[in-house]
Amino acid sequence: MAPFRFAVQVSNASSGAAWRDLARAIEGLGYSTVFIPDHFEDQFGPLVALTVAAEATTDLKVGSLVFGNDYRHPVVLAKEVATLDLMSEGRVEFGLGAGWMTTDYEQSGLAHDPPAVRISRMAESLAVMKSLWSTGAATFAGEHYTVTGAVGAPLPHSRPYPKIIIGGGGKRVLGIAAREADIVGVNPSLAAGYVGPEVLETTTAEYYDQRITWIREAAGDRFDDLELQVLTFLVQIVPDREGAIGRLSSTLGVTAEQIDGTPIALIGTIEQIIERLVERRARFGFSYIVVHEAEMEAFAPVVAALAGT
């Protein structure tokens, strides 16, 4: 099994100085990576913010979870990511997604194509970027992109390219991730384009069992080399685990068993959460755990106990 790694996802800070301090704090607490999303809501622009975070730290990896392919042309994004990876001496983890949040498309005026189209476009985009990073050039003629003699300069520090993260909840996108990525994020279904009550139906342990089966089948011989990642949404360090789960169960309208079993929730004492993470790694393979800024300090003892083990 892959050793545990931990990351923090954040969106912004009150100032440039506060952002630098936050990046240093994340590194100091033992987290591997800082991630920033890529939406048009209240958040920093990922590439500039990640560049500043990399410059403010020594070893902290930086990445977007995940860049929205539909509003980032692969030739442009490849150059920016390669430059950041070169300047940070290989500290980029490159997350790419097909786009899902309806408001991103409404605010920008971009066409919100059906999922199949967006996923196909993402796959083509990744092929272009891999060619630019690995060979320094790309010529590609697909359904969505036509690239002729594009120059991949600078080359990234990481060879042949930075670690690639692709996540999702559907069979097709997870199949692409299993074949093309280094890190596969398994997510609830976001097909509705927003986070609503129906998302809870896709957070059960059985849902994740099925997704891991799909990944294993698509990955074939490379499955053991993949790092499986989960983004958490409910993290509570509390002395009364059963009571906290019971209250959440009543609030969310789901069973206590569902909250207890879902990989997106970590509730209990430090010792109970450590035990749960070890159990879930054995069952699902999840070794790369992402939490949010609000709980990063309280969660730090878990990181200290498990990172690298």
Give burial (CB, 10 Å; 0-12/13-18/19+) of 200: middle
Stretch 155-166: mean pLDDT, rounded? 98
Stretch 67-76: mean pLDDT, rounded? 97
100: DSSP letter: -
pLDDT in tens, 38-63: 999 999 999 999 999 999 999 999 99
Q: What is the dihedral angle through the alpha carbons of 227, 233, 235, 240, rounded to the nearest 10 degrees?
A: -120
Band of pLDDT at residue 119, cut at 50, 70 and 90:
very high
Cα Rg of the chain, angstroms: 19
pLDDT in tens, 235-285: 999 999 999 999 999 998 889 999 999 999 999 999 999 999 999 999 999
Q: Residue 272 has which token pair?
A: 């109970």
How far is the C-alpha of 134 from the C-alpha of 136, rounded, in Å?
A: 6
Stretch 120-134: mean pLDDT, rounded? 98
CATH superfamily of the 5-231+294-306 domain: Luciferase-like domain (3.20.20.30)
Q: Can you give the pLDDT at residue 271? A: 98
Measure CA of the first residue to CA of the last residue in the chain; give whole Å. 10
How far is the C-alpha of 154 from the C-alpha of 88, rounded, in Å?
A: 13
Band of pLDDT at residue 188, cut at 50, 70 and 90:
confident
Around 182, how many Cα atoms within 13 Å sit in the side-chain half-sphere?
11
How far is the C-alpha of 126 from the C-alpha of 199, rounded, in Å?
A: 27
